[in-house]
Amino acid sequence: MSSESAKKHNPRETVFDVGAEQLARVYAKAALDAAGDKSAQDRMVDELSAIVEEILNKYPDIEQILSSALISEDEKLGVIDRVFDSQLSAVTLNFLKVMSKHNRLGILRNVVRSARELWTHRSGREAIELQVAQELDPALQQEVVESLRKMLGIDPVVTTIINPDLIAGFVVRVGDKVYDASTKASLERARQTMLAHAVETIQQQPQQFIDQSN
């Protein structure tokens, strides 16, 4: 049972797109299968994670180039060679080039996340994304992890993301399932309930909303 360090909310990484996630899982599985044994798969996941954390997060211009449909494949391959050639194993470097040739580098973050989840699952654990409004102290975070373990019946590897937009509460993502217990979601549900009630009232008693001043 473990937990990764908390990181700041990055909208490009946490927006959930079902189509992108499904495609990302296909690429992630192909990548890990091509890597070879468990040691090689572990190394590939580390390298892919480093690409996101050390390159995409720190140098957004590079991410824009790699994901842009206006940049030619040759230019993207050149960027990949210049930026990653000395940092990645041959199999990971080749995987990036395959994604580039299929014009899929725009979902690289999704693929990396899926690869982490798949590798965690193959290791007998389960990846969980926990979004909270503010950073948790270690004791509280451990309590949350323990609660997730009991509630879901798995050995979780938790990635904590700080997302102030939630106001309070938390959002838990396990695979393609999302459990939203945030204050933001509660307020939105309350707003929707109020709107629905108002519409129902107007429909049932329209005379109350007719201007009778004339």
What is the bridge-based pairing of β-strands 126-132 and 156-162?
parallel
Helices 108-122 and 60-67: crossing angle in degrees, nearest 10, is 100
CB 9 within 8 A of CB 147: no
| Predicted confidence pLDDT, tens digits, the chain (214 residues) | 444 545 554 544 444 466 788 899 999 999 999 999 999 999 999 999 999 999 999 999 999 999 999 999 999 999 999 999 888 999 999 999 999 999 999 999 999 999 988 998 888 777 778 887 778 778 877 887 788 778 777 777 777 888 877 777 777 777 777 777 665 555 566 556 666 655 565 566 656 545 555 5
Residue 203 lies in a domain: no
Which tokens is 106 given?
A: 């725009």
What pLDDT shows up at residue 66?
94
What pLDDT shows up at residue 99?
96
- Count of domains observed in the chain: 1
Burial status of residue 166 (CB atoms within 10 A of its CB: 0-12, 13-18, 19 or more): buried
Q: What is the pLDDT of residues 88-99, one digit of tens each?
A: 999 999 999 999
What CATH number has the domain bearing residue 152?
Answer: 1.10.520.20
Residue 197 lies in a domain: no
pTM over 0.85: no
Residue 211 lies in a domain: no
What pLDDT shows up at residue 190?
59
CB 5 within 8 A of CB 79: no
Residue 206 lies in a domain: no
What pLDDT shows up at residue 84?
93
What pLDDT shows up at residue 148?
75
- Give the sheet arrangement for strand 156-162, strand by strand: 2-8, 156-162, 126-132, 170-174, 177-180
Residue 130 lies in a domain: yes
Residue 207 lies in a domain: no
Residue 51 lies in a domain: yes
Residue 18 lies in a domain: yes
Q: What is the pLDDT of residues 104-117, one digit of tens each?
A: 999 999 999 999 88
Range of the domain at 47: 2-184
* Calpha distance 116→2 (Å, rounded): 14
Return the SS3 of 168.
coil
